[in-house]
């Protein structure tokens, strides 16, 4: 479990999904590949305690998950390993 600012990302490494807890309404999730390409971007429309994202369609490798607040401040930057 990677934790920062009360945000947790698990399981890591993973095969299918990642769970992100501690998000607030308006937070932005972005997943980048190792080349810095934006793979997925999503804004939280509600203050869900746990948000699940499927990454089963992505090839195996390392990705970077970032969470930003509505002001653009980075709350979390975490590597995610897809097996």
User: What pLDDT is attached to residue 49?
Assistant: 74
Half-sphere exposure for 78 (CA within 13 Å, toward CB): 23
- Tell me the pLDDT of the chain averaged across its residues: 91
pLDDT at 4: 61
Q: Say whether pLDDT at 2 is over 70.
A: no
Dihedral sign (CA 64, 69, 71, 75): negative
Tell me: pLDDT of 45 over 80.
yes
Indicate if the pLDDT at residue 56 is higher than 70. Answer: yes
Pairing of the two strands 50-54 and 17-21: antiparallel
């Amino acid at each position: 479990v990677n934790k920062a600012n009360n945000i947790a990302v698990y399981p890591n490494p993973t095969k299918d999904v990642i769970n992100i807890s501690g998000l607030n309404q308006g937070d932005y999730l972005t997943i980048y590949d190792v080349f810095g390409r934006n793979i997925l971007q999503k804004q939280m429309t509600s203050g869900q305690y746990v948000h699940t994202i499927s990454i089963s369609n992505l090839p195996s490798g390392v990705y970077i998950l970032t969470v930003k607040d509505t002001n653009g401040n980075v709350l979390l930057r975490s590597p995610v390993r897809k097996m």
